[in-house]
Amino acid sequence: MTQFVDLHLHSTCSDGADAPAEVVAHAARNGLAAIALTDHDTTEGLAEAAEAAREMGIEFLNGVEVSTLYGHHSIHILGYGIEPGCPELEAILHKLRDGRERRTEKIVEKLQERGLPITMDEILALTDGDAPGRLHIARVLHDNGACKTVQEAFDKWLKFGKSCFVPIPKVSCERAVEAIHAANGLAFIAHPGLGNATRKLLPHLLASPFDGIEVIHSKHSQADTVEFKVLAQEQGLMISGGSDCHGGANGPRLMGGMKIPYAIYEAITEALAAKRS
Ligand code: MN
Ligand code: MN
Ligand code: MN
């Protein structure tokens, strides 16, 4: 019987809808043999997910999705098999989370200076413990009648180049790859077909010592998948795949629908084992 895996999943520890143990339970219901939890910039959910995976008989790989910048382009990097608590990795993850929180405060100050109806308390009431971000800000502005749609808040004030834009904390791709390696993990370029930046920058990104490319992703076209698979082979890199499911009613990015073969997971765990021996 062919077994399937999903190596890109989010929980409530970042912007997912389900708690880590619920993500695992969902994977079990979908009949997946192995998963990785890859929350944005945090390793917080890994212990809970690993424990749940043990109980439910699913193989589990520690993961993280690091938000890096190449110039002002946002590039996501997946770390697999990372050991949580590695000081070098936790330092950049802390910088990203903490910086994002302070960024939100700065944006709110700018909006208030312009007389717009928004307070930090209103944002925190929406975040349910997550790091507050621009989407929360836009929702408060919308709820308070400052704009007709959430998108309008971005277009009028929050986007790059607009009056209340504040840059996000910067962690370079090289530094993220180094930190993932310091944590004994493997670094993969996430969803290169998503948006234009990663695809265009691939030749530059590949100068960093990546271990692999996320070839299979719910937002990749069939042509993308072929293109990135060929690239990975040419570069001698491993491939990974995942739905990038955020839980809840998240449209096409649903867990279990992607039929990612177990061999992909196996190759990654073998590489991790070889690295540690
Ligand atoms: Mn996300
Ligand atoms: Mn991503
Ligand atoms: Mn993701």
CA of 8 to the centre of ligand 3 (A): 6
Q: Among the bound ligands, name the one nearest to the CA of residue 131.
A: 1
Name the average pLDDT for the chain. 93
CA of 152 to the centre of ligand 1 (A): 20
Q: Is 266 exposed, middle or buried (0-12, 13-18, 19+ CB in 10 A)?
A: middle
Q: Among the bound ligands, name the one nearest to the CA of residue 76.
A: 2
Distance CA 161, CA 159 (A): 6
User: The tokens 């589990």 sit on which residue?
Assistant: 60
CA of 198 to the centre of ligand 2 (A): 11
Q: Among the bound ligands, name the one nearest to the CA of residue 15.
A: 1
pLDDT the model gives residue 170 = 86
CA of 191 to the centre of ligand 3 (A): 8
Neighbours of ion ligand 2 (CB under 5 A): 76
The model scores a pTM over 0.95: no
pLDDT the model gives residue 55 = 97
pLDDT the model gives residue 186 = 98
Contact between 70 and 201 under an 8 Å Cβ cutoff? The reply is yes
CA of 1 to the centre of ligand 1 (A): 32
Report pLDDT digits (tens) over 102-138. Answer: 899 999 999 999 999 999 999 999 887 667 889 999 9
In the DSSP assignment, the letter for residue 81 is S
pLDDT the model gives residue 253 = 62
Q: Rounded to a whole number, what is the largest CA-CA distance in the chain?
A: 62
Pairing of strands 59-70, 34-37: parallel
CA of 117 to the centre of ligand 2 (A): 31
C-alpha angle 88-90-94 in degrees, rounded to nearest 5? 120
Q: Is 206 exposed, middle or buried (0-12, 13-18, 19+ CB in 10 A)?
A: middle
Contact between 28 and 56 under an 8 Å Cβ cutoff? The reply is yes
CA of 12 to the centre of ligand 1 (A): 10
Question: What number of CA atoms fall less than 13 Å from residue 173's CA on the CB side?
Answer: 23
pLDDT the model gives residue 252 = 47
Segments in the chain below pLDDT 50: 251-252
